[in-house]
C-alpha cells in the first residue's frame, strides 16, 4: 500500500475515534422522530370525547360523570364511576415509544386515519389537554397512535384505546337504586293481586316481618331469605335500557308488583316491576326481551333487570318460610344413627373423637375418617327442604313407615330425626322426595339425591382419596398420565397441581 494511502487511512481512523469518544450518548437515534405526550392530571380532566367507530362523550358533573350519546345529546345519563375511574387511572401509562411512519398512505394500514382511527380529546376547564388518534393493535403489543394534528405514527403500550372503545350504553351506570342496602329500614311489597309482604330491619340487625303481620300456623320465618330480598332490591342492576316504550308493553299499565322502601333518613323509594316486554325489530318482527322492566319513581328511565333478580323480588310470605329440617348445636351431638337401604350405621362420640360402633366390623379395606362424621353433622345443621307440601297423608308420602332415617342424639336437647319418604310430585326439575324433620311437624319435599346420599350409610364416613402424589409417580417424580405431554406443558401442569396439593 502506498504511503499516502496509509496516512489517509490513519487520519480517518483517528477522526472516527475522536467522534466516537466525544459524541452525545443519549442522541444515538439522531434524526428519528420522537413523541413525548403531555402528563395528564386526571383530577383536572372534565370531559372525554370519543369519535370514530364508537361515539360517546363523558363529562364531569359535580362529583360524578355523565355519558352522552351524540345521537341523543339532550339525554345525559349517569356513567359507571368504576369505569371512568379506571380510565383516568390509566392515563399515567399513556406514552409513545417506537416511531413507525409518517407517510400518509400508511395511516390506513395502521388504522389511525380519519376513517378507521379512534379520535380522542381530553379537555379540562381551560380547554383541550390532549388530542390523539388510536389505531389497531401493534405486533409486539400495545397499539398505534398519532397526534390529531400530526401524521407521525408511534407505538403506545397503553391499553387506554381499548378502554375507550365502548358505545354510550356501555358507559352507563348499571346500578340504579338510589341507596345502599345498609340504608334500608323497611321494605313492603304489594303484588298484582294486592297481597303484601311487609319487612323491617330489627334492632338485632336481622330482617323480620313487620309487627302484627298474620302468618300461617307453624310458620317459621327465614331471616336470611328476607335479607336476600332486601339486598337484591338495593342492588338492582340494569342489563339494558329502554326508551320510548309504552306502559302497556312494559306491564306498568295493569296492576303489577311494587316495592316501597323506607330509608334511614326518612325518604322512600318506590320500585315498579313489570314484565319482559315484547319489542320491535328493525326487520318488522318482534322479540321478547331477556330482562324484566323496572322503573323507579322520580326516574324517567326504564331498566331491564336480569330475570333472576326479578324472581327474588317476587317472593311472597310463603316463600320466606324457614325450611331447615333440624334444630341443634353440632358441637353437642353425641350419636349418629343412619338407617337406609336395609342397613344401619351408628357412630358415637367418645371425648372429642368419633368411632363407628355399627357395623361392629368395618369392611375389608375400608378407611374410617372421624372428620367426615363431624362434616356430616355440620351439614345437617343447614339442611333445607325445597318446599313445603300441604294436604298429603303420611301413608301417601311414605312417612308412616319411612325406610330412610337419620337420628342425632344431642346432649341436653331433644332427639333430632330426619325421615325420608317416597317420590314427591314435581312439575319440572330434579326428582324430589317427601321429607320431615324435628324442627316442625310439617311435610316437605327435597331433591332425591339427598335421600340417596343417606342410603350410603357407612360410605358417608369413608376417608377421601389422597391428593396426587408427585414423588411416587413416573420417572423423576412426574405424575402418572402426564408422560405423553410435551415437556413444557407437563411442567406447567405439574407446577399448577403442586400449588393446589403442596
Strands (E), 28-104: 47-51, 56-61, 64-69, 72-78, 99-101
Grouping H, G, I as helix, E, B as strand and the rest as coil, residue 111 is coil
Q: What is the DSSP letter of 142?
A: S
Q: Largest Cα–Cα distance of the chain, in whole Å? A: 124
User: In the prediction, which pLDDT does 24 show?
Assistant: 36
List the grid coordinates of 200.
Answer: 323491617
| 3-state percent helix, strand, coil for the chain, nearest multiple of 5 | 25, 35, 40
List the grid coordinates of 310.
Answer: 326479578
> Do residues 98 and 115 make contact, with C-beta atoms less than 8 angstroms apart?
no
Q: What is the 3-state secondary structure (H, E, C) of 115-133?
A: CCCEEEEEEECCEEEEEEE
Q: Name the strand (E) or helix (H) holding 305.
A: strand 302-306
How much is the pTM? 0.76
CA distance 234 to 249: 25
Nearest to 56 by CA among 219, 169, 217, 223: 169
- My answer on whether omega of the bond before 405 falls inside 30° of 0, hence cis, is no
Q: Name the strand (E) or helix (H) holding 377.
A: helix 370-381
CA distance 471 to 467: 12
Nearest to 209 by CA among 340, 322, 64: 322
List the grid coordinates of 412.
Answer: 341436653
- My answer on whether omega of the bond before 424 falls inside 30° of 0, hence cis, is no
> Do residues 119 and 51 make contact, with C-beta atoms less than 8 angstroms apart?
yes
DSSP of 403-472: SEEEEEEETTSPPEEEEEEEEEP-SSSS-EEEEE-TT-S-EEEEEHHHHHHHTTGGGGGBPPPPPP-GGG
Number of residues assigned to the chain: 502
Q: What is the DSSP letter of 44?
A: G
> Do residues 335 and 409 make contact, with C-beta atoms less than 8 angstroms apart?
yes
Output the tens digit of pLDDT for each of the chain's 502 residues.
Answer: 555 554 444 544 454 444 344 333 333 455 789 999 999 999 999 999 999 988 999 999 999 999 999 888 888 999 999 999 999 999 998 999 999 999 999 999 999 999 999 999 999 999 999 999 999 999 888 999 999 999 999 999 999 999 999 999 999 999 999 999 999 999 999 999 999 999 999 999 999 999 999 998 889 999 999 999 999 999 999 999 999 999 999 999 999 999 999 999 999 999 999 999 999 998 889 999 999 999 999 999 999 999 999 999 999 999 999 999 999 999 999 999 999 999 999 999 999 999 999 999 999 999 999 999 999 999 999 999 999 999 999 999 999 999 999 999 999 999 999 999 999 999 889 999 999 999 998 999 999 999 999 999 999 999 998 766 555 455 555 555 555 666 666 667 766 666 655 5
Tracing cell 406443558 back to the chain, one arrives at 489
CA distance 239 to 40: 33
List the grid coordinates of 105.
Answer: 398512505
Q: What is the dihedral of CA 258, 262, 267, 268, to 10 degrees?
A: 0
List the grid coordinates of 350.
Answer: 367418645
Give me the residues paired with residue 291 across strands.
Answer: 306
User: In the prediction, which pLDDT does 466 show?
Assistant: 79
Nearest to 385 by CA among 444, 316, 315, 440: 444
Tracing cell 368411632 back to the chain, one arrives at 355
Amino acid at each position: 500500500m502506498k504511503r499516502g494511502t496509509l496516512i489517509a487511512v490513519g487520519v480517518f481512523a483517528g477522526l472516527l475515534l475522536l467522534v466516537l469518544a466525544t459524541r452525545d450518548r443519549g442522541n444515538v437515534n439522531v434524526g428519528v422522530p420522537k413523541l413525548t405526550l403531555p402528563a395528564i392530571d386526571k383530577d383536572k380532566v372534565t370531559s372525554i370525547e370519543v369519535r370514530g367507530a364508537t361515539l360517546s362523550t363523558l363529562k364531569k358533573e359535580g362529583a360524578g360523570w355523565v355519558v352522552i350519546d351524540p345521537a341523543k345529546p339532550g339525554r345525559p345519563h349517569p356513567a359507571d364511576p368504576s369505569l371512568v375511574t379506571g380510565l383516568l387511572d390509566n392515563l399515567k401509562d399513556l406514552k409513545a415509544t417506537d416511531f413507525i411512519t409518517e407517510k400518509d398512505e400508511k395511516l390506513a394500514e395502521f388504522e389511525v386515519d380519519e376513517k378507521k382511527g379512534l379520535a380522542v380529546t381530553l379537555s379540562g376547564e381551560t380547554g383541550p389537554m390532549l388530542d390523539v388518534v388510536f389505531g389497531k393493535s401493534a405486533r409486539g403489543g400495545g397499539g398505534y397512535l398519532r397526534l390529531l394534528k400530526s401524521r407521525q405514527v408511534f407505538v403506545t403500550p397503553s391499553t387506554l384505546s381499548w378502554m375507550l372503545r365502548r358505545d354510550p350504553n356501555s358507559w352507563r351506570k348499571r346500578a340504579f337504586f338510589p341507596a345502599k342496602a345498609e340504608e334500608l329500614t323497611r321494605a313492603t311489597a304489594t303484588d298484582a293481586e294486592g297481597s303484601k309482604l311487609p319487612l323491617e330491619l330489627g334492632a338485632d340487625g336481622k330482617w323480620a316481618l313487620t309487627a302484627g303481620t298474620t302468618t300461617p300456623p307453624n310458620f317459621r320465618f327465614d331471616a336470611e331469605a328476607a335479607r336476600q330480598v332486601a339486598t337484591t332490591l338495593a342492588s338492582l342492576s340494569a342489563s339494558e335500557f329502554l326508551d320510548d316504550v309504552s306502559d302497556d308493553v312494559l306491564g306498568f299499565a295493569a296492576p303489577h308488583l311494587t316495592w316501597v322502601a323506607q330509608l334511614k333518613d326518612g325518604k322512600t323509594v318506590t320500585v315498579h316491576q313489570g314484565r319482559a316486554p315484547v319489542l320491535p325489530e328493525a326487520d318488522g318482527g318482534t322479540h321478547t326481551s331477556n330482562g324484566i322492566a323496572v322503573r323507579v319513581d322520580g326516574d324517567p328511565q326504564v331498566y331491564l333487570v336480569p330475570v333472576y333478580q326479578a324472581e327474588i323480588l317476587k317472593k311472597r310470605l310463603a316463600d320466606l318460610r324457614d325450611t331447615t329440617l333440624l334444630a341443634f348445636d353440632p358441637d353437642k351431638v353425641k350419636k349418629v344413627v343412619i338407617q337406609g337401604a336395609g342397613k344401619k350405621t351408628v357412630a358415637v362420640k367418645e371425648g372429642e373423637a368419633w368411632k363407628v360402633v355399627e357395623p361392629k366390623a368395618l369392611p375389608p379395606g375400608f378407611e374410617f375418617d372421624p372428620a367426615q362424621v363431624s362434616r356430616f353433622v355440620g351439614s345437617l345443621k343447614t339442611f333445607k327442604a325445597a318446599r313445603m307440601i300441604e294436604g298429603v297423608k303420611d301413608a301417601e308420602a311414605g312417612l308412616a313407615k319411612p325406610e330412610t332415617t337419620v337420628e342425632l342424639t344431642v346432649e341436653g336437647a331433644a332427639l333430632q330425626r330426619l325421615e325420608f319418604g317416597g317420590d314427591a310430585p314435581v312439575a319440572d326439575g330434579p326428582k324430589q322426595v317427601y321429607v320431615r324433620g324435628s324442627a316442625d311437624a310439617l311435610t316437605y319435599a327435597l331433591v332425591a339425591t339427598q335421600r340417596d346420599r343417606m342410603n350410603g350409610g357407612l360410605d358417608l364416613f369413608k376417608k377421601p382419596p389422597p391428593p396426587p402424589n408427585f414423588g411416587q409417580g413416573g420417572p423423576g417424580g412426574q405424575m402418572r398420565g402426564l408422560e405423553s405431554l410435551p415437556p413444557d406443558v407437563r411442567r406447567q401442569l405439574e407446577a399448577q397441581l403442586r400449588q393446589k396439593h403442596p
